[in-house]
Amino acid sequence: MFSVLGHRSHRHCDGVPRRSFLKAGSLGLAGLTLADVLKAEQAAGAGASQKAVINIHLDGGPPQMDLIDPKPEAPSEYRSPFSSIPTVIPGFHVSELLPKVASIANELVFLRSLVGAAAKHDAFQCQSGFSDKSLASVGGRPALGCVVNHLLGSPQHGAPAFVDLMQGRPLARNSARPGFLGPAFGPFRPDISHLFQRELEEGMKVELAKLGAGHTTKLSLMQELSIGRLDDRLSLLRGLDHTRRAIDSNGHMDALDTFTQQAYRILTSGEFAAAMDLEKEDPKMLARYTAPGSASDAGTKFYTSEGPQAGRKLLLARRLIEAGVRCVSVSISDFDTHSNNNVRMQQLGPIVDHALHALITDLRDRGMLDNVTVLAWGEFGRTPKINPEGGRDHWPRVAMGIMAGGGLPGGAVLGATDRYAGEAIDRPIHYQDVIATLYHQLGIDPTATLTDTTGRPQFLVDQGQPIAELV
C-alpha cells in the first residue's frame, strides 16, 4: 500500500484534487491503476525522490563457499581452498578473496540462503524474480527495470528510467525483457562492447545474432545529420507512421514512437551521452574502479572472464544514476566454473571485491548511498562437491547475494547453510523476496498489479515479500 498526498489549490484534468489522499492496493481504487497513482504522485510533487537500483549480475552463478559462506571445517572434497577471514561484523567471516568487502561489511547485507532458483543459465530470474516460463503464453513476465520504465519513465525525460548494460549470457538471452508490457517498455541498451570486452561462447554468439542489429542502441548522431535535420526527420516519421500505427496490433509502432522520442531527447540534451563517456571522468576515479593487476591477474583468466577494468562498469552505472536513470543492470563475468574453479576464482574474486568496495564507498562519499540500492547476485549457486575437473557445477538449491545502500540496515547477515554450503538451514529467502525488496526500495508497492495482454491483473511478485529484516 502506498499513498499520494498533494496540495489543496490544484486539480488534475480528471477532477481529482491534489489534496485527495489516494491509496492503491493490489487492484487499485475506483479504477485507478498503479500507473495512474504514480502519475498523480508525480503531478503532486510527492514522487520527486530519485530512489534508484544498481542490479549487478554475477554471470554464471558465483560459488557461495568461495565468497561469503566459507566452510573451513568441511571435508577436503567440499571445502574451498581459500582461507576464511574475519570481517568488521563480529563473528562473521568471508573468503580471503574479499578483503575489501570484509572491511566495509558493516555497510552491507549478506544473503547466504537464497532459494527458489529456476536453474536457468541467464539473468532473467535476477531481473524479475520469475522463471522465464512464467506467463509465457501472454508474452512472459516483465523485468523489474521494465516495470520501472512503465511506471516511472517517460520519453520526455533526458534519461531513460531503465538502462541495461549487461553483457554475456544476459545480453544474448535478452534477460532484461519487457514481457507482456510490450516493446515500448523495453530497456535502453547502449552498446558498451567498445568499452568492455566480453568474449561470448560460440552458442551465445548464435543466440545474439538471432536478436538482430536492433538489440543495442547507438548513442551518436551521424556527422552529416544536424539537430535541425533530425527535427525534420522526426516530424516526417511521425507523419508516415500515423497510418501504420492505426492498423498496428502488436504495439511495435507505439514502441518505435517511444524509442524515437527518447532517442531524440537523449541525443539533443547530451546529458545521458555524457554520462556514458568515461573519458570525461577524472582519471583518479577511473583508477579507483580498476582492480590492481596484482589482485585481478592472479589465477587463471578464462576466455569468457573479464579483466581489471570490469569494475568500471559500476562507475558507469553510478554516472547513469546521477544523470537520472532509476534502474541500471550490469554484469560481471564469468562464474560458470565447471572446471578449474579455484584458479579461476583467484582471478574473479578480487575483481568483484575491488569493484563492490569502489562503488559502495564512492556512493557513500557522494552522499548517494541512502538513495541507491545495490545488489550483487547470480542465477544460482554452485555445487558443494568439487567435480573431477576441479570445478563446481550448477546448484539451484541455495545461492548468495550482497546488498547495500538505499537506507538498508548495514551489517546484516541473513540465513545460514549446512556444513557444506549446500542447503539453507535457516531463514530461506526467495528470489522474489529480493525483487520485492527492490520494488519497496523504489517506492513501488510489490503487491500491486499490472494488466497483461488478456486484460488480467498480474502481481509484480506472486509469492515474494520485502525482506522483513531490511525494511
The correct answer on CATH 1.20.1070 for the domain covering 50-215+271-444 is no
The SS3 assignment for 190 reads: strand
If one compares 221 and 116, the residue with the highest pLDDT of the two is 116
Cα–Cα distance for residue pair 271/286, rounded to 1 Å: 19
What the block records as the C-alpha cell of 150 is 512503465
pLDDT in tens, 254-281: 555 666 666 666 766 678 888 999 999 9
How confident is the model at residue 342, as a pLDDT?
96
Q: How many CB atoms lie within 10 A of CB 385?
A: 14
The listed range with the strongest mean pLDDT (6-10, 165-169, 197-201) is: 165-169
The pLDDT tens digits for 319-372 are 999 999 999 999 999 999 999 999 999 999 999 999 999 999 999 999 999 999
Burial class (CB in 10 A: 0-12, 13-18, 19+), 97: buried
pLDDT tens string 72-92: 999 999 999 999 999 999 999
Q: For all residues of the chain together, what is the average pLDDT?
A: 84
Distance CA 411, CA 111 (A): 11
The three grid cell numbers given for residue 97, joined into one nine-digit string: 578473496
Percent of the chain whose pLDDT exceeds 70: 77
Q: How far apart are CA 148 and CA 439, in angstroms?
A: 9
Q: Strand, helix or coil at 436?
A: helix
